[in-house]
């Protein structure tokens, strides 16, 4: 009984020690076996692995592709037109041993701070060597490639592999943005005023041409009307002359009736004539004027 009581704690301790000596490496991770802070083994393959209990410890790091956002960064291109740039990077831990030596126990947090410094320096250097038009043009892809290649070289000392770097937002600073919008608004208003002025000028030309055409048409119509009236008067006078030549008495009778009609209209009823005036000859006789 006393022997069983003595062996049971030893058995429990052996089981606990055996279990603590075994650890599992996830397929999404890499593991380091540390002994008193020194790397003694690297476990990159997924599965079971072993360590010395109490003496050694295991530190794991993510083996997947990670993302890092680079906050707003103000740069000054060659044309001194300041820009605010946002970027992000894709990276992974390529050399876990070198990574541990570079960042120590700080891990990913320290590594990302250093990676931020590398990316910011590369962005400033590359974008500062070109004009703002190059940054905003189709050359943007080539500039991002230059930033990535520069970051790759510097990140190797951290055990990191930079896979890609992308520029997200490229804007003017807020103060410059408002000034640019104000300038653009002024330019659009000036263009609108120019268009309105040109429209008014064109409208004035159209109205002037229309007025001129109207005057020409009216003048031409009046000229033709005068010609037609003249021709009609000439024709009428010819008819009168022909009729007068055929029957002088009838012509005189007709002319007298026309004079009666014109003189006896409303408002023309007052007449002062001699009693023996020939004007009333046809009123005095039903057969015609009296013979002289």
Q: Determine the pLDDT at residue 185.
A: 87
Cβ atoms within 10 A of the Cβ of 245, count?
A: 9
Rounded to two decimals, the pTM is: 0.56
> What percent of the chain lies above the pLDDT cut of 70?
79
Q: Which long-range contacts (CB under 8 A, 24 or more apart) does 178-184 make?
A: none
Q: Determine the pLDDT at residue 292.
A: 45
Band (41; pLDDT cuts 50, 70, 90): confident
Cα–Cα distance list, 220 to 207, 212, 226, 229 (Å)? 20, 12, 10, 14
Whether residue 75 is predicted with pLDDT greater than 60 in this model: the reply is: yes
Find the mean pLDDT for residues 149-173.
Answer: 88
Q: How far apart are CA 230 and CA 210, in angstroms?
A: 30
């Amino acid at each position: 009984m006393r022997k069983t009581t003595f062996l049971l704690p030893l058995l429990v301790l052996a089981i606990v020690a055996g279990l603590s000596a075994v650890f599992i490496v996830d397929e999404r991770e890499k593991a380091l076996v540390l002994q008193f802070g020194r790397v003694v083994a690297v476990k990159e393959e997924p599965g079971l692995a072993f360590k010395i209990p109490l003496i050694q410890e295991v530190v794991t790091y993510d083996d997947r592709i990670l993302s890092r956002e680079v906050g707003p960064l103000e740069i000054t291109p060659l044309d001194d037109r300041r820009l605010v740039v946002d970027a992000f990077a894709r990276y992974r831990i390529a050399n876990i041993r070198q990574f541990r030596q570079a960042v120590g126990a700080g891990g990913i947090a320290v590594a990302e701070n250093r990676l931020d410094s590398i990316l910011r320096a590369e962005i400033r250097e590359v974008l500062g060597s070109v004009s703002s038009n190059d940054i905003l043009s189709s050359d943007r892809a080539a500039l991002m490639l230059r930033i990535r290649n520069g970051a790759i070289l510097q990140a190797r000392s951290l055990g990191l592999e930079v896979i890609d770097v992308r520029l997200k937002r490229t804007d003017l600073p807020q103060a410059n943005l408002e000034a640019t919008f104000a300038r653009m608004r002024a330019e659009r208003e000036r263009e609108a005023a120019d268009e309105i002025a040109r429209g008014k000028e064109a409208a004035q030309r159209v109205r002037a041409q229309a007025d001129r055409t109207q005057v020409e048409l009216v003048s031409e119509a009046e000229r033709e009307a005068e010609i037609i009236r003249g021709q009609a008067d000439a024709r009428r006078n010819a008819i009168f002359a022909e009729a007068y030549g055929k029957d002088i008495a009838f012509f005189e009778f007709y002319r007298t009736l026309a004079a009666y009609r014109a003189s006896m209209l409303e408002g023309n009823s007052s007449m002062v004539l001699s009693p023996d005036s020939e004007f009333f000859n046809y009123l005095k006789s039903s057969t015609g004027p009296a013979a002289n």
